[in-house]
Structure 1
Amino acid sequence: MSYSGADYDYDYDDEGGIIDPVKLLTICFGLGVWLVWRRYYSILNRAIYFKIPPPIQIKDTWTATKLPQPSLEAHLNIDGLLPNFPLPDRKYITAYDPATAYHLDTILADSEEQIQRKVMHAYEAQKKWAATPFDDRRRVMRSLKKWLVDNQETCAKVACRDTGKTMLDAALGEIITTCSKLDWLINHGESALSPESRRNNLIMFYKSSWVQYEPLGVVAAITSWNYPLHNAWSPIIAALFAGNSVVLKCSEHVIWSTTWFVQAIKECLKACGHDEELVQLVCCYPEDAEALTKNALVRHITFIGSERVGRLVAQAATEYLTPVTLELGGKDPAIILPSTDLDKWISLLMRGVYQNAGQNCIGIERILVHESQYDELFKMFTERADKLRPGHSLKSPGDGVAPAADVGAMVSGERFPGLQHALAAAVEQGAVQTVGGEPWRHPYLEQGTYFKPTVLGDVNPESDVAQHELFAPIALIMKYDTIDQAVEIANGTRYGLGASVFGPVRDDCIKVAKRLQCGMVAVNDFGVFYLNQDLPFGGTKYSGYGRFGGPEGLRALTNVKAIVVDRWGWAIQTSIPAVLDYPIRSVTQSWDFISGMVGFLYADAWRTRIDALMKMIKASGR
């Protein structure tokens, strides 16, 4: 059906609506352009394929050499394991699997000159990278995420081989968390770093103001050994997305796995057409790291590790006033409010204590339970912990057998005497130990560094074991009488990293969470604040300062620059009234003008403002 008139010639649709042919063609053309652009954008930003061969040490066919006395001492030479490094004046790092004592590699440590050279390479490479658009940086992140998902089993095995953790712990702490961070950078990183408009006040009404987040240049990361994949990739990908180059100094305990993980990022950069020198890996002992921490080219340092070493890093960074983000120790409490369904949460509590053999910065180190439920929870933990099987997830080379394992090895046995001493001292002070408390000898992996999962009850909140970070598979269970007492105990250590609150009423849990002195709290959960990468991660008190993760962490890797310009430069700009111009004609007159301006702009009462305006006018007209 159609309608014709002097000015109109339209077609009706089936429901009586009028269809404008020009409008219809415009819509179709716009849709076509949009589809073409989406296709082009998809091709432009697709993940780039790259590959890196898996290390032989994770294969069943690998011929392993077992170290008689695993050690990380410099210059270690066991049965001729250093044939390729005949340099007596240099240090070496021996890598081994703590779950089996298998020798993985012996690596020549970097000298001070080599470290400085690596920083310079990163400095030169960053100049071009700083100008890359976010689409290019997103493509790198997308390519890394695809590679990680496709190679997750290989990555987990590499992490297990170097730390002795289980495959499940690697999946939870290495793969999922890293994918989460990559995903956040891809979807929200640009928004966090885009110029941000800021408000103006009355005196600046004719100005436009915003903040820009610009790359710093070379940033450094010094990371711990407990999560070699995530602790390496997390600061690297954040630094790259912010437009920086990065120099990573990992713990000497995990230099073998970290070398492979960093090489994957380098291969990705090359595949995407960028300079692999953007990422540098430093291999050295802590005492040689000052070549990195006292370097004028390094403009930010992220440190993850112990309080003792963190202090040294912060002190060294003052040489060039280098900003530092410190993520140090924790003694995270889990407060269980009265009438909580313990059966509902016991599995989460177990995971919070024993995941990664307790070597988790946000692991649950203290469980505070109301005295009415203490006996029940203590029995639950004892029964469950006694059934946990220490062991290794990887098949032993030659026999192809992977024994069942719930809890992996600890990275080193050097701390075992200290742990045993602390536990014995706690028992002397009245604590009750039902399970564990000593190293555990694996029937097939005799030289593995396993510590039996331990349960310690009736712990004195003031005892050493309750005040210092254990970083071990040890459950400390304490009873409290009132909520105020529970909060006081939870806040009663030098640390303030994370915490958990469990209870039947959410609002009650939130009230307690707000009273805790820490950087992060999970309600009816454990550690999930790190899975949400939009949240900042970090602590307070002796747990460090600064944040990584979320917009706050990403922006910490940038120079935050404020820019102010004229909004209508053709009409109004800043000018100096004659009464204020140099040379000043009258101090009294200029003061009356300024004080009148202050009163007019900021006084609360309008009568005062009018009087102040008159004072300004009078002073300017003298």
Structure 2
Amino acid sequence: MTDTQAPQKTGTNPLAPAPEGARTAADVVTPQLVAHLTKGVTGSGRTAVHTPFTGEKLADVPESTPEDVAAAFERARAAQTVWERTPVRQRAAVLLRFHDLLLDRQAEVLDLVQLETGKARLHAHEEVQAVAVAARHYGRRAAAYLRPKRHAGAVPGLTKVTELRHPRGVVGQIAPWNYPLELSVGDALPAFVAGNAVVMKPDTETCLTAMWARDLLVEAGLPADAFQIVLGDGPVVGPEVVRHADYVSFTGSTRTGREVAQGAAARLIGVSLELGGKNPLLVLDDADLDKAAAGAVRACFSSAGQLCISVERLFVHESVADAFLERFLARTRALRLGAALAYGADMGSLAGERQLKAVEAHVEDAVAKGAKVLAGGVARPDIGPYFYEPTVLDGVGPTMAVCAEETFGPVVSVYRFANDDEAVERANATPYGLNASVWTRDARRGHALAARLRTGTVNLNEGYASAYGSVQSPMGGMKDSGLGRRHGSEGILKYTEAQTVAHQRLLPMGPALGMDDAGYAAFMTRSLKLMKAFRFR
């Protein structure tokens, strides 16, 4: 396993930007930047943000109390009543301007994402790509998604029906630490263009990225008070967000998702949840093994495996298992670990001590119970305090925690199967159902197998990016992996309330023209039979 180290900063002018690849945390997270970004945060206390690359403090930021959360919602509600009256095409134009600003100024946020999460720069760029695609899509399609729709009425020709879409009001969003740009502002964009305000609680350790995105949206034309940020411990601030919101969007663990859902249910408000996964990748006997090995490395180790849709279970047909593993292990062992604010490293750090301990515990438990480490299996404190080598385990059994529990780190277990039926059965044998990957040269076989997998997305000959990046289509989980969907029509309509307006003309929905009750009932019976015969819907 190789590593890359950031070169030392050169030059003597402290105000001059450091050259590419030589920036330090102090170059990026300056007091001036922190003061500017935290103007948009409601908080009367103070808390700290750290970088996984070194464990050192990046900045002090505001910490919100329950009273601060209530004040943030009050400001957001006042702004929302004005924002929803803004024509949808003007709201969409904000997203399109944000799209351009994000791509033009991506270097700023790439540094922040790396410093706050520890991920490699290429994996940070995946977030920029995803947010830009979402901004473009909803910027172009929001008006069509939200426009009034005509429907057939109860009585053809006499009942005119229109479906309207109204914003829910103020959306409470609880965002995780692992994708601080995509899973914060990326999920907020459709809420904004639908006419809502948002009160967001990002994870404190990755809040600078969310605050930067908020600042860019305001620059693009979003009213500042329509986007509020609150910070603090999840058990303290999270329930307050749920208590005040008109709708809740949550991404995180299944355990916390259940608590969020219970809080929303008690208030009879809607909720969308993207939760955990134990995602399978299936290599069939006819797969292109070189492409499958390269794709599996991306699927397992992007963002150090700290991705809800990354692969943790690798099922390989027994006839090609040895040949596939030879390729897969060679690529895995060649991955470069590094902490530089530049492209070049293949994998970055885990997010912190808690993640490192969880990964170590799963690997140590598996080895103690008989599993074999084929690659990795060790921490790399020589690179940074929370680095861990990409790890491949063989011989994993059901008594091992890594077999069924989500690791959320760079660890994948290998299993062999004899036929497609066995592969499907074992892939589905989990409470989770978020994402899956199938590798085959036979498209028809791949599609047929994909339809049998109980996951919200399935990628053929790719790990996760092709389904996730196809933003016209819904993305989300089955079973314990969540409720609701992001992307496509579902990703924006969930932030709205449907209203049906029915205009009855000429005749009432009841006896008329001298008919008595029995005559009206007979008339309607004949009419219903005729409507079926003439294929009315």
Shorter-chain TM-score above 0.5: yes
Deviation at 1:386, TM superposition (A): 1.7
**CA offsets per residue over residues 10-66 of structure 1, 9 Å max, x none?**
xxxxxxxxxxxxxxxxxxxxxxxxxxxxxxxxxxxxxxxxxxx999xx98376589x
Q: Structure 1's 579 and 487: CA in aligned 2 closer, same or farther, altered over 3 A?
A: same
Structure 1 CA distance for aligned equivalents of residues 529 and 370 of structure 2? 63
Question: Does the 8 A contact of 2:25 with 2:115 survive in 1?
Answer: no
TM-score of the two chains, using structure 1 as the length reference: 0.76
Deviation at 1:596, TM superposition (A): 6.3
Q: Does 1:577 align with 2:531?
A: no
Q: Structure 1's 533 and 64: CA in aligned 2 closer, same or farther, altered over 3 A?
A: closer
Q: Which residue of 1 aligns with 2:74?
A: 120
Q: Does 1:131 align with 2:131?
A: no
Q: Which residue of 2 aligns with 1:515?
A: 452
Q: Structure 1's 592 and 438: CA in aligned 2 closer, same or farther, altered over 3 A?
A: farther
The number of equivalent residue pairs is 500
Query: Which residue identity does 1:496 align to in structure 2?
Result: G
Q: Which residue of 1 aligns with 2:176?
A: 224
Query: Which shows bigger deviation, 123-132 or 102-111?
Result: 102-111
Q: Which residue of 2 aligns with 1:107?
A: 61
Query: Which of residues 427, 433, 450 in structure 2 aligns to 1:496?
Result: 433
Higher RCO, 1 vs 2 (CA within 8 Å, ≥6 residues apart): 2
Q: Structure 1's 591 and 255: CA in aligned 2 closer, same or farther, altered over 3 A?
A: same
Query: Which of residues 525, 529, 536 in structure 2 aligns to 1:602?
Result: 529
Query: Which of residues 398, 402, 423 in structure 2 aligns to 1:486?
Result: 423
Q: Does 1:563 align with 2:516?
A: no
Q: Which residue of 2 aligns with 1:433?
A: 373
Question: Does the 8 A contact of 1:378 with 1:457 survive in 2?
Answer: no
Deviation at 1:536, TM superposition (A): 1.0
Question: Does the 8 A contact of 1:97 with 1:103 survive in 2?
Answer: yes
Query: Which of residues 296, 317, 340 in structure 1 aligns to 2:287?
Result: 340
Structure 2 CA distance for aligned equivalents of residues 217 and 415 of structure 1? 36
Rg larger in structure: 1
Q: Which residue of 1 aligns with 2:218?
A: 266
**SS of equivalent to 1:499:** strand
Query: Which of residues 222, 234, 243 in structure 2 aligns to 1:294?
Result: 243
Deviation at 1:287, TM superposition (A): 1.3
Query: Which residue identity does 1:598 align to in structure 2?
Result: T
Q: Which residue of 1 aligns with 2:145?
A: 192
Deviation at 1:92, TM superposition (A): 3.8
**CA offsets per residue over residues 561-595 of structure 1, 9 Å max, x none?**
112114xx3xx2315326999xxxxxxx8467536
Query: Which residue identity does 1:188 align to in structure 2?
Result: R
Query: Which of residues 314, 317, 328 in structure 2 aligns to 1:367?
Result: 314
Q: Structure 1's 605 and 284: CA in aligned 2 closer, same or farther, altered over 3 A?
A: closer
Structure 2 CA distance for aligned equivalents of residues 352 and 576 of structure 1? 61
Taking the TM superposition and a 5 Å limit, the aligned residue runs for 1:163-202 are 163-172=117-126, 174-200=127-153
Structure 1 CA distance for aligned equivalents of residues 76 and 289 of structure 2? 52
Deviation at 1:215, TM superposition (A): 1.2
Deviation at 1:473, TM superposition (A): 0.7
Structure 1 CA distance for aligned equivalents of residues 246 and 87 of structure 2? 22
Structure 2 CA distance for aligned equivalents of residues 226 and 499 of structure 1? 20
Question: Does the 8 A contact of 1:64 with 1:102 survive in 2?
Answer: no
Q: Which residue of 2 aligns with 1:318?
A: 265
**CA offsets per residue over residues 451-504 of structure 1, 9 Å max, x none?**
111011233367431211111011221111121110011100000011111111
Q: Which residue of 2 aligns with 1:29?
A: none
Query: Which of residues 464, 481, 484 in structure 1 aligns to 2:401?
Result: 464
**SS of equivalent to 1:365:** strand
Structure 2 CA distance for aligned equivalents of residues 499 and 250 of structure 1? 27
Query: Which residue identity does 2:360 align to in structure 1?
Result: Q
Query: Which shows bigger deviation, 254-263 or 207-216?
Result: 254-263
Identity of aligned residues (%): 29
Query: Which residue identity does 1:574 align to in structure 2?
Result: P
Structure 2 CA distance for aligned equivalents of residues 153 and 63 of structure 1? 16
Q: Which residue of 1 aligns with 2:202?
A: 250
Q: Which residue of 2 aligns with 1:278?
A: 226
Structure 2 CA distance for aligned equivalents of residues 429 and 486 of structure 1? 24
**CA offsets per residue over residues 583-616 of structure 1, 9 Å max, x none?**
xxxxxx846753663355138998xxxxxxxxxx
Could you list the runs of 5+ residues in structure 1 that have no partner in the other structure? 1-52, 66-88, 396-401, 582-588, 607-622
Deviation at 1:119, TM superposition (A): 0.4
Q: Structure 1's 409 and 213: CA in aligned 2 closer, same or farther, altered over 3 A?
A: same
Q: Does 1:420 align with 2:360?
A: yes
Could you list the runs of 5+ residues in structure 2 that have no partner in the other structure? 1-15, 29-42
